[in-house]
A and B are shown apart, each in its own frame.
Chain A
């Protein structure tokens, strides 16, 4: 009997000891909500994927926390003419295997993004590039098909520079089993859905990271993610829903970092469908019907900011003087009557569930507010995959809830797909005049002129109200108190080369 008891005791002690897997001072553990799709950036289509690439690779330029492209592997650029750019490269940058980065690596990597054989998922952003030429070992020229004022933004988006010789020798499939870049961390291992292990690159040109190992884990269940932070197993967790913040803020060893996100949430209005939605006054009425502040305060626990025109301060061209639609149901009803719909009309309102923070709950609130001004909503919740097919297949009937992130940090990144052309899969509103203006703004090289153009375009879009504008998200990143130097970003990137414990 005694022996058995002893065995149980020892067993429990062992069990206990084994669970003490807390992250040591040399290791930083990050828990994201989803898994990386692939180690090959050509298969990346989200920031979750890119959060691995940004550790292992560098690009010519990369966005700073304000969404402005800053030189990284490039030292400087010169615009030679409207369609020709010249870049000087940083000297002495080494790949993780010791080889030196030169212009041919840059040409190879950018060519790969445009290559129709490679079919890079983010390749659509590079379609403005006509060709890349090597001038000398540290000088590269990029020629665009037409004037492209945001080339630097494009190069900052998944423009990871790969070692040309090695990739060509090994073939992409083999290379990406153990990828090598010039980034602050070296790839060590990856087990899908389990963890990715990276170690510090002591020879990083930007200064070696201040800790030894970075572990990236996908933990899709939010309760488990928070539990990892509470037990000290994780140092940073992302995608924390607002309703948990109160509890997290009370925890002693935890820091909550809110940050304004570049993601805006709004409701599609199909202006190609029923007559009512073709009328500007009706669309404005829909906007006046919404009490954005109360939605943010009660459903999002304050984690949001009312938004005027679907873009944010992170998008170049944003006009901060434009104020969001106010909550004015009386005015909304009046506008409806003026437009010829004093008794309202019927709409079908689609919403995802779980795709965006509190999306279904917010959409329900919006539907109720629309009902209150006489617009009878038939509310339908759909699984995200089905909804995306409806939206991008031009099958939306009336209204659809959606969010839009910030990839290019430029107004065109949102307005282009949404209003740039009637053929664009995601567009439910445009006019030839607006499409023309957007085209012009997209191809004007002068920054000041672009700013003025987008100011005018925003005013027009605000007035035309082709969307029910709602809010800009506030993201919350939660870190352990020991972590120093972690800066939450509005573009959802997680950077670690200035972080220490």
Chain B
């Protein structure tokens, strides 16, 4: 098991390195930051000077080598627009996104698990139809629309939550709900299908024959077994949400790394774009690794090594 983890970590390093190179190249294809950085009235001399200051006049492979050298030492460079060290900037804003993602994941689980289990247990009935109908709705509603609707309804009309921003402990609820919507729906459907699979299994039939009460069958056996693939999906979700809450953070003015990266992309602020992508990708890879290890540790059906 230890060897497995070490090998996986080594693979992760290679993947992260690939992410660094690809992000670096894609960022540079995005275009010229100088045109956006300087006011439109800037002179040609100013543009040339700024291009030089940002190191953008060097050949691409030189820029890449310099960047990789910096990153392995933990230096992600300075933001073109803010003139601040990027790593510090990203680490400052990361907790806000982490907080939002955790609350969103909790809400997602609280909705999707009961919804999926009940739909599975009452398969074919009206409860099932309504449940899955809601799930399809949840997956189809664009989250920017949902977010704005939530603001108009619960913030403006009912004054229960602030419309946007980070202040007050209840400010996270509306954005977390918006973020959770799609994934809660997807997880609900997956939960239902996993539980259905388990309900069909031999050991369930045997437990019922033995006279075990249905509730115990459900809670002690079925859910525990379905849990593992659900855990997998929740972890993947969490990793995706971590890097992708861009739209939600924009709508709710949530000061996380989603906001940071969207401003950076529009402003062609390469160091910030690169750092956010690399850090998010690394988190995602680590979460994946964690899930796989948990899988191996808890599910005897999974081969080791």
Contact = CB atoms under 8 A, between A and B. Distances in A.
Contact of B39 (A38, A45, A227, A233): A45
B253 A385 contact: no
Interface in B26-46: 30-32, 35-44, 46
Interface in B142-179: 148, 151-152, 155-156, 159-170
A125 B46 CA distance: 11
A219 B147 CA distance: 14
Nearest to A120: B46
A121 B38 contact: yes
Interface in B246-262: 250-256, 259-260
A464 interface: no
Contacts of A324: none
Contacts of A191: 166, 255
Interface stretch (B65-73, B263-271, B276-284, B285-293): B263-271
B63 to A, nearest CB: 18
Contacts of A192: 82, 89, 92-93, 255, 260
Interface in A414-429: 416-417, 423-426
Nearest to B50: A119
Contacts of A228: 163-165
A contact residues, range = 35 or more
Contacts of A116: 49
B8 interface: no
Nearest to B46: A124
A16 interface: yes
Contact of B162 (A19, A193, A218, A221): A19
A198 B168 CA distance: 19
Contact of B165 (A125, A127, A217, A423): A217
B35 A127 contact: no
A7 interface: no
Contacts of A16: 159-160
B148 A43 contact: no
A225 B252 CA distance: 9
B93 A221 contact: no
Given A218-B253, A228-B164, A223 B268 contact: no
Contacts of B156: 227, 230-231
B164 A124 contact: no
A121 to B, nearest CB: 6
Nearest to A229: B163
Interface in A117-168: 119, 121-125, 127
A19 to B, nearest CB: 5
- The CB with the most chain A CB atoms within 10 A, among B35, B49, B84, B255, is that of B35
Nearest to B166: A194
B221 interface: no
Given A43-B82, A219-B253, A228-B163, A385 B36 contact: yes
A267 B260 CA distance: 32
B35 A393 contact: yes
A27 interface: no
A221 B46 contact: no
Contacts of B49: 116, 119
A195 B255 CA distance: 9
Interface string A190-218: 01111100000000000000000000011
A224 interface: yes
A124 B43 contact: yes
B43 A385 contact: no
Contacts of B255: 191-194
B35 to A, nearest CB: 5
Contact of B82 (A37, A221, A413): A37
B83 A227 contact: no
Interface residues of B, number: 55
Contacts of A345: none
Contacts of A223: 148, 151-152, 251
A291 interface: no
A119 B48 CA distance: 12
Contacts of A388: 35-36, 40
Interface string A424-461: 11100000000000000000000000000000000000
Given A21-B168, A393-B35, A231 B163 contact: yes
B53 interface: yes
Nearest to A37: B81
B44 A417 contact: no
A6 interface: no
Contact of B268 (A124, A125, A385): A385
A35 interface: yes
Contacts of B7: none
Contact of B251 (A45, A195, A224, A424): A224
Nearest to A217: B165
B160 A224 contact: no
A127 B42 CA distance: 11
A342 interface: no
B144 to A, nearest CB: 8
A122 B40 CA distance: 10
Nearest to A417: B41
Contacts of A221: 148, 164, 250-253
Contacts of A425: 42, 44, 47
Contacts of B43: 124, 127, 424
A15 B251 CA distance: 21
B164 A194 contact: no
Contact of A19 (B42, B160, B250, B260): B160
The 8 A-B residue pairs with the shortest CB-CB distance, nearest first, are A227-B163, A193-B255, A194-B255, A224-B164, A221-B251, A219-B253, A223-B148, A193-B259
7 contacts: A45-B39, A192-B92, A193-B253, A220-B253, A221-B252, A385-B267, A426-B41
